[in-house]
A and B are shown apart, each in its own frame.
Chain A
């Protein structure tokens, strides 16, 4: 029986058990699933060429042996096997290949194979997230078939594009715009078209990138004050009534029209880095607290918040999880040959941050793979909700990458390329991610300029910023959309006195990273330069 039929039969308990039953697991149940499914994966993995390559031809007989034998991996270890999309080397035949940009990589994109079972698990996760987004307490949710679903995410071959296809046949929603129409549109046009249809027919469910949602909401509020007149005949009666009420309130009380005044949203799913910074705003605009989820191309969707929306819980049957504590992370950063220690879900500590390492299950391609994301374990249990599993908060991508609102990722290579192309006489630099007063992320770049032979040079930070942005847009296509889609000024340039950085690095034994350096390194350099951070 699919979810449509279960909803029709009002089998709400069964639905909750099927999709959200894992909240009742103890940590022992959780680890049982992790360990057993890893053994299944090892069996499949050992039989294929990719697996033999990663595991050095060995066949571990236990989880412990697996963690001992198999080194931590990055996409470089898989590139030659996966980029050609050769099914023969894989543990299980893929149904679809998902891709994402490979920041700082040998190729423009990374690809990951998805097997039939992975897709069916992805379907279950999507439904779990949809259910939880409408849930206010355990066992409760507000769903029916045929709801209006605004899907503001990228289509295939990106991971987010899998959702409409994976839930097909299981749960019927009215996508706005339809999948076929949406696939023909750009990201921006798709969001606009979906929003427009939402205005006419209401939106029940919304899935989008947090930063984009905030921008759209702001535009909506601004638009409500602009006096634009929609074509009323296109609207459903209930939407007309709501618009009328909202307009009336706007006129009488001079209050802006918020999306919550017009839309009766049941559930909101948001994703993207920096989601934590946007959730309060989204709730303020829409009247519904968004449910944050986490996923990645290599891992699939692996975590979601519970009904209390206060921390991510990782799904036990999707990937096998290991956690690198930060002290081990930095050791490895200093010495790339050092193999950092990892800990399992039942070994981590509260209030500690970790880099996540995943082994995909059910025939996936990745083993002990560092996906490049940092999480903080907020709590090991949630007594109030009676969930006895660790809750996480997403922190950010690993230090050498600046992720701007989930839209684009800037690496050292990107910045170096931009500097080179700009032909500006920048002799040294570093950059790190900061947030403005509206909690929007941007790159704070600190540069040192060389002195030209004729003593002349470009010294205006704004002009330098403009010059650099020309090449940022050239090197990174997503950078172009940042201002338009999210409304942020992504770059701030600060000029340091020449020689400041070197004068500091000469005094330290470790290497100061160019992108997202250690906080104290930044403080020290800025102190030397006479800046206040």
Chain B
């Protein structure tokens, strides 16, 4: 008996609960056209199961009415499935929908005329001595037409799906469980043709299988994208409503229990006290539910926010640009799970944006973003990120060169974000498409934008610090290190002379004062720059090149021997001799340099001694004809240096 009741009542009830839950889920989610098309389908299934229950409960207006409602909803389910499949596979044919609507309407009309089900009533029967009601109905002459139409409609859905899949719409494969479910359902419905079977809710057993397949389709195959919008307000409302109902029940019980006892309190005060207790109880319960929901639904957001906070703390006291950038790249990777992240900074000299760092150390980018690049113009005008589709589709980017498009293509460009400080675009972060098929969500990009905004401040400070640092140690005219830096470095280099010898070159421009007098100080500055460039060209990354002062240059060469140093000195000297010191092609002006070389520890003992002896060698070069290189020889070169070398 119990099993019979479970079967008889439980199946439609379970089907109703499942479908209602599905509908609730759908209504709480962010709706797109697919969800909107799916909802009527579920609603029709709810009407169907509700009609069955109400029919068995013999609710007004009666069994026959609810049976007819049930039959109507049975036809609506495949009709809404057809609409959903049409929209999902982008094969909407208005004419077909109108035609099928008319057919369904005709079926409804036939149904309400009693041509589908001629009679339906709950008939009392005695089972094991207990009187129960069973459904008794008879199928009308046109029921076959109704059923036939439904199956044709389902077949059309399948054909549409096959067509979509054939023409490359792989999404349509997700419909397989839905369609299979529908066919299972209608096998069950077919059994209703036999009243002896149909009086039992066998079709609901099949319906529950169908609902299960829908759930599977939604969650596993992600048939429709459900973004549950459980707002705190909604949660609060549901919680307080449920709690209040519960408390109302408790108060009612309590009141009826205490009703016969004189508490000395009137009812109003009693209710007030109970309500107060409710509020006190409510707080921890709400906090608990809130925390659980937060953890479940907002886990990702909370994690991302904690990353940003951690980054802010880390960089707040950091003025090292490398460290800040690396930290930023690390956090960006954590947020996006993407390892194609690139940072570009604006060059101080050219105002173009050059590659600075990437998440993967070896993944360097050779592309440069010109100051006239549309990305730069875009970010100067607004702070919005640039997604890849903008590059081809947005009219703003029509100014992009083919080579620039090619660069973006090569790096598999996905999105660009600005690094802006005080409305000044100091750099950009570019992301390339990852190997995995997932695409960056808008939420992820928003978090990245927050990261970039935070990082911009730290980066700007670090760059300013670097700039001042450089200015403190660089000579602005020649771009070489200045005297202060030289003194610092020569001391450092000579600290471990036992293990590492150091050679020093000092060179002085011959007759520079006269050159300045004749051609002017501007021409002199050009000459200094050209000689500095020549030295940089010859030395490359070897040695520390400094402008010692005025027209004197010094090159510190750790781990060099005298011969190699002399060779380098001679290369520089002979190159300087050949180049023109004018910036005009048609004007030729030439200068020469005299060079002194010395080595420690074999000749000089310490930094000061090294400088003195190299200067002596330079002086000898000057005195013995200029335009030559002289290595300091302790046996020969012992005289003191005059105050001015020139």
Contact = CB atoms under 8 A, between A and B. Distances in A.
Interface stretch (A29-37, A102-110, A385-393, A449-457): A29-37
Contact of A36 (B372, B393, B394): B372
Nearest to B395: A21
A32 B395 contact: no
A9 B90 contact: yes
B435 interface: no
Interface string B351-390: 0000000000000000000001010010000000000000
A254 B403 CA distance: 64
B492 interface: no
Contacts of A316: 398
B399 interface: yes
A8 interface: yes
Contact of A24 (B372, B374, B377, B395): B395
Nearest to B402: A117
A36 B402 CA distance: 12
A18 B395 CA distance: 7
A33 B399 contact: yes
A317 B393 contact: no
A21 B399 contact: no
A14 B389 CA distance: 10
A40 interface: yes
B468 interface: no
Given A8-B90, A9-B90, A36-B372, A25 B399 contact: no
Given A9-B90, A17-B394, A362 B402 contact: yes
B394 A32 contact: no
A525 B372 CA distance: 57
Nearest to A115: B402
A40 B377 CA distance: 17
Interface residues of B, number: 14
Contacts of A97: none
A17 B393 contact: yes
A17 B394 CA distance: 7
Interface in A2-18: 8-9, 14, 17-18
Interface size grouping (class) on chain A:
20 to 34
A14 B394 CA distance: 9
B401 interface: yes
Nearest to B401: A40
A362 B400 CA distance: 11
A343 interface: no
A407 interface: no
Contacts of B398: 22, 33, 37, 316-317
Contact of A17 (B372, B374, B395, B399): B395
B264 to A, nearest CB: 71
Given A17-B393, A18-B393, A21-B394, A36 B399 contact: yes
Interface string B398-412: 110111000000000
Contacts of A32: 377, 399
Interface in B289-344: none
Contacts, number: 38
Contact of B399 (A8, A9, A37, A117): A37
A9 B91 CA distance: 11
B89 to A, nearest CB: 10
Q: Which of B392, B393, B394 has the most CB of A within 10 A?
A: B393
Interface in B388-445: 392-396, 398-399, 401-403
Nearest to A315: B398
Given A8-B90, A9-B90, A40 B393 contact: no
Nearest to A116: B402
Interface in A159-200: none
Q: Which of A9, A37, A363 has the most CB of B within 10 A?
A: A37
B395 A22 contact: yes
A206 B374 CA distance: 37
Interface in A331-358: none
A430 B414 CA distance: 64
B395 A14 contact: no
A14 B393 contact: yes
A8 B374 CA distance: 31
Contacts of A39: 372
Interface in A293-322: 316-317
B443 to A, nearest CB: 21
B125 to A, nearest CB: 56
Contacts of A33: 398-399
Contacts of B395: 17, 21-22, 24-25
A259 to B, nearest CB: 25
A315 to B, nearest CB: 9
B402 to A, nearest CB: 5
Nearest to B377: A32
Nearest to B374: A36
B357 to A, nearest CB: 28
A22 B403 CA distance: 22
Contacts of A22: 395, 398
Q: Which of B392, B394, B398, B403 has the most CB of A within 10 A?
A: B398
B629 to A, nearest CB: 41
B372 A40 contact: no
A318 to B, nearest CB: 10
Given A8-B90, A9-B90, A37 B394 contact: no
A518 B169 CA distance: 64
A122 to B, nearest CB: 15
A414 B377 CA distance: 52
A455 to B, nearest CB: 70
Contacts of B396: 29
Interface string B118-160: 0000000000000000000000000000000000000000000
Contacts of B402: 40, 117, 362-363
Q: Which of B372, B377, B402 has the most CB of A within 10 A?
A: B402
Nearest to A40: B401
A317 B392 CA distance: 13
A457 B338 CA distance: 90
Contacts of A18: 392-394
B350 to A, nearest CB: 15
Contacts of A362: 402
Nearest to A7: B90
A14 B372 CA distance: 26
B82 to A, nearest CB: 18
Contacts of B399: 32-33, 36-37, 317
Contacts of B392: 18
Contacts of A36: 372, 374, 399, 401
Nearest to A41: B401
Contacts of A29: 396
B84 to A, nearest CB: 16
Interface in A66-120: 117
Contacts of A21: 393-395
Nearest to A121: B398
Nearest to A21: B395
Contacts of B372: 36, 39
Contacts of A24: 395
Contacts of A37: 398-399, 401
A269 B399 CA distance: 27
Contacts of B377: 32
B369 to A, nearest CB: 14
A25 B395 CA distance: 8
The 7 closest A-B pairs by CB, nearest first: A21-B395, A18-B393, A36-B399, A40-B401, A8-B90, A317-B398, A33-B399
Interface of B: 90, 372, 374, 377, 392-396, 398-399, 401-403
15 contacts: A17-B393, A17-B394, A17-B395, A18-B394, A21-B395, A22-B395, A24-B395, A33-B398, A33-B399, A37-B398, A37-B399, A37-B401, A117-B402, A316-B398, A317-B399
Given A18-B392, A36-B372, A117-B402, 20 more contacts: A8-B90, A9-B90, A14-B393, A17-B394, A18-B393, A18-B394, A21-B393, A21-B394, A22-B395, A22-B398, A25-B395, A32-B399, A33-B398, A36-B374, A36-B401, A40-B402, A316-B398, A317-B398, A317-B399, A363-B402
